[in-house]
Amino acid sequence: MQEFIAVILGFPAIVYSILLAVVLVYWVAAVIGMVDFGESDIDLDLADPSDLSTIASYVVAFGLTGVPFSIVVTLLVLTGWTMCTLASIWLMPWVPTLLLKIVVGLVLLAVCFALSIIVTARLVRPLRGLFVTQYGRSNNELVGQVCVITTGSVDEREGHAEVAQRGAGILIRVWAATPNTLTRGSRAVITEYDAAQRRYLVQALEGET
């Protein structure tokens, strides 16, 4: 056990160990409600690639779309940490000098990162169906309907809600002018659809606090 701890706290595994600790803190915060899981989504409009940022372009190129970005980062860190730790256990003891250990460690970090992208891309494929944002045949059909907010708050930039349609809950992106009283569990009415941003304008239902 002491040898394992020494490995994960030593170079190069320590880099991934720190990232893993950050990821764990994030998920603990998400579980206790300090972070809204839905707000970590990356929404990419593939119809206009010129609008994609550099990071988003890489996300698309590596096939890491279709699931919340927090899950992508978690899988990247977890797979990278696993491979880097195992490589450190098996390989680093055979490296004789400190200088060579640094060089080999840097190479391991690069190789593990590259491999983690490949592994993560394969892992997210079966998960995409669980995170599909569904839309009606006509987005304007939802205007006037009541939805339930699923994120901790709704502002001009971010928000998610669920609207019941034909007995199934449909997840939609929403926004509202601030300040407002919309929180998780609040009911709101959909007043407008923004085709450019693919989201709905909502306002608190009368009588709701």
Identify the residue with better confidence: 62 or 194.
Answer: 194
The answer to whether the CB of 176 falls within 8 A of the CB of 147 is: no
* E strand map for 32-184: 146-149, 160-165, 168-175
* pLDDT score of 132: 56
Structure tokens of 182?
A: 């919309």
* Residue 200 forms part of a structural domain: yes
| 124-165 pLDDT tens trace | 888 776 665 544 445 777 888 899 998 889 999 888 998 876
pTM above 0.75, yes or no: no
The model's confidence at residue 61, banded by pLDDT at 50, 70 and 90, is: low
Same domain, 160 and 116: no
Domain that holds residue 167: 139-204
Q: Count of domains in the chain?
A: 2
Residues 91 and 42 in one domain: yes
Please indicate, yes or no, whether residues 145 and 171 belong to a single structural domain of this protein: yes
198 confidence band (pLDDT: 50, 70, 90): confident
Q: Do 96 and 13 lie in a common domain?
A: yes
- Three-state secondary-structure class, residue 4: helix
User: Is residue 149 within 8 Å of 190, Cβ to Cβ?
Assistant: no
Provide the residue type at 186 as one letter: S
pLDDT at 50: 42
Whether residue 209 is contained in a domain is answered as no
Which tens digits make up the pLDDT trace of 90-101? 999 899 998 999
Return the higher-pLDDT residue of 65 and 55.
65
